[in-house]
Amino acid sequence: MTTITEVLAGHAPSPTTSAAEVEARAEKAPVLVVLDDDPTGTQPVAGLPVLTRWAEEDLAWAFAQQVPAVYVLTNTRSLDPDAAAERNREVARAARAAAATTGVQVVFVSRGDSTLRGHFPLETDTLVGEVAAELTTASGATLEGHAVDAVLLVPAFPDAGRVTVDGVHYYVTDGEAVPVGETEFAKDATFGYSSSDLRDWVAETTGGRYAAAEVACVDLRTIREGGPEAVASLLESVTGGLPVAVDAVTEEDLRVVALGVLLAQEHGHTFVHRVGPTFVRALIGLEPPAPLDPDTVYGAEGGNPTGGLVVVGSHVALTTRQLADLQASDVEQDVVELEVPQVLDPARRDAHVADVVERVRVGLRTGTVVLHTSRALVRVEDGAASLDLSRQVSAALVQVVRTIVDEGVGGEAGTAGPRFVIAKGGITSSDTATHGLGMSRAMVRGPMLPGIVSLWQPMDGPGLGTPYVVFAGNVGGDTSLTDVVRTLTRGATR
């Protein structure tokens, strides 16, 4: 076992750079358009808009909020490569058109998984191509693209124990630092890999297009001993859109990198970013928001007098442990299982989903309902088939949620819906937001736990007014789901 203390031996202590220093430098920086490949990228932030639709008018609305960053939920981690590339192109072109009509500049951020799963390098390749292209807006104005100098790889997510040291990405739990290539996430059926050093990972995922030796590294010594100027100098030496691996262990490390990026941008350099959740917060100079409490979530009205709905689709081991902890807790709850084999059987699907809807509806009248997919993992032969299976199961979960939201706990339109909705897992969270609650625009209210688990306020759709919690499958401790449910049920009338 290697500890994080051993990994950091010989390195200088964390810097003391404040969020205010970055915020002051970023005041005139371009707006970040964050293409989030699942909705869990908003966990560390608050007060920012998130879109599940990317028409030009939606992005113009988001820019009109006068915020430093805008999230666009692309859900591309659930798509095949061709569809993922096309969605990135659509968002980039709509964002550039909206930017032209609203008079803002934009920088693209591709938000991927902090455990390295997702469509890389496809998504950043697509965005680099779009930045470099001439684009014509709907108004007929032509925007001249600028060549991208570097693609920054910043998967570190310190709040959740994902750190990068000397180019090697680690998953840290209880002080133990496990190279990410040795974790269950590296065995993902669709996005699996073997490398933990980001330079080797780039060589692996690009099929050798970039050799590991070609990948620059903003290492911890540069960050902690050289500061923002040294980071900027290193970044300014990179051209041609080459990937750059970035170390970070603390929020302060990320802020030093952010200042270096902003300095290099002021000197005319252009970047596309591939990041875990936290770097956006660092890059805009946002203080880590405090976890929300029931009074802040519900306000004076106190929320609906019904139970809350917890929807669990993720199958990673941590989620299964969190689900078991919730079921063993003293939280008043009914547990309803969506049986995957029945969902995948066309002859049984509709009847099973209808039965699940009725059981959920009855349970919500008296307490919280935990709706989860069966835990026995259905194995398939390849990544494409795995994604298709996930989409079928997610569609069934979403159908249950949408029926409850549309018809209410009473079974007819106009009756009260769930007090809250929690969705556990990336694809589950995205589909629940977009199709289950029917939202296209929302505001990120803040985290439910320190730095993780995001609560959104839907700004439209049938789920308007329902607190919606986006809970990644691979974050938190064993009791985290229980803790969030307890917070949201506190003060509920039964």
Please say if the pLDDT value at position 20 is more than 50: yes
CATH of the domain at 397: 3.40.980.20
Cα diameter, the chain:
64
**Amino acid letter, residue 400:** V
Residues of the chain above pLDDT 70, percent: 95
What pLDDT does residue 146 have? 56
Look up residue 327 and give its two tokens. Answer: 């079921």
If asked whether residues 73 and 136 sit together in one domain, one would say: yes
| 8 A C-beta contact, residue 89 and residue 123 | no
What pLDDT does residue 381 have? 63
The helix/strand/coil state of 317 is helix
If asked whether residues 382 and 347 sit together in one domain, one would say: yes
Q: How many angstroms separate the CA atoms of 256 and 331, rounded?
A: 43
What pLDDT does residue 428 have? 87
pLDDT tens-digit series, residues 248-282: 999 999 999 999 999 999 999 999 999 999 999 99
CATH of the domain at 251: 3.40.50.10840
Look up residue 324 and give its two tokens. Answer: 């078991």
| 8 A C-beta contact, residue 444 and residue 50 | yes
If asked whether residues 191 and 329 sit together in one domain, one would say: no
pLDDT tens-digit series, residues 157-191: 999 999 999 999 999 999 999 999 999 999 998 99
pLDDT tens-digit series, residues 328-377: 999 999 999 999 999 999 999 999 999 999 999 999 998 999 999 887 76
The answer to whether residue 216 is domain-embedded is yes
Q: Which residue has the higher pLDDT, 378 or 92?
A: 92
Look up residue 207 and give its two tokens. Answer: 């099929």
Q: How many angstroms separate the CA atoms of 338 and 375, rounded?
A: 10
Residue 70, H or E segment:
strand 69-73
Please say if the pLDDT value at position 142 is more than 60: no
- Output phi, psi for 314, to 5 deg: -65, 145
What pLDDT does residue 213 have? 97
If asked whether residues 357 and 477 sit together in one domain, one would say: yes
Q: How many angstroms separate the CA atoms of 431 and 74, rounded?
A: 11
Q: How many angstroms separate the CA atoms of 76 and 331, rounded?
A: 34
The answer to whether residue 162 is domain-embedded is yes
Cα 286–chain centre separation: 17
If asked whether residues 330 and 280 sit together in one domain, one would say: no
Please say if the pLDDT value at position 494 is more than 60: no
pLDDT tens-digit series, residues 425-452: 888 888 999 999 999 999 999 999 998 9
The answer to whether residue 320 is domain-embedded is yes
If asked whether residues 421 and 466 sit together in one domain, one would say: yes
Look up residue 394 and give its two tokens. Answer: 């997610």
pTM value > 0.75: yes
The answer to whether residue 109 is domain-embedded is yes
φ/ψ region of 372 (left if φ > 0, alpha if ψ in -120 to 50, else beta) reads beta
- Catalogue the long-range contacts made by 199-202 (C-beta closer than 8 Å, 24 or more residues apart): 199/167, 199/245, 201/116, 201/169, 202/121, 202/153, 202/243, 202/245
- The average confidence (pLDDT) of the chain is 92
Residue ranges making up the domain that contains 272 = 4-284
The answer to whether residue 409 is domain-embedded is yes
If asked whether residues 260 and 178 sit together in one domain, one would say: yes
- Output phi, psi for 197, to 5 deg: -75, 125
Please say if the pLDDT value at position 143 is more than 70: no
What pLDDT does residue 2 have? 96
Q: How many angstroms separate the CA atoms of 265 and 456, rounded?
A: 31
What end-to-end distance do the CA atoms of the chain give, in Å?
48
The answer to whether residue 220 is domain-embedded is yes
**Amino acid letter, residue 252:** E
The helix/strand/coil state of 179 is strand
- Looking at the structure of the chain, the number of domains it has is 2
The answer to whether residue 96 is domain-embedded is yes
Q: Which whole number is the average pLDDT over 88-111? A: 97
Look up residue 175 and give its two tokens. Answer: 């002080």
Q: Which whole number is the average pLDDT over 379-406? A: 83
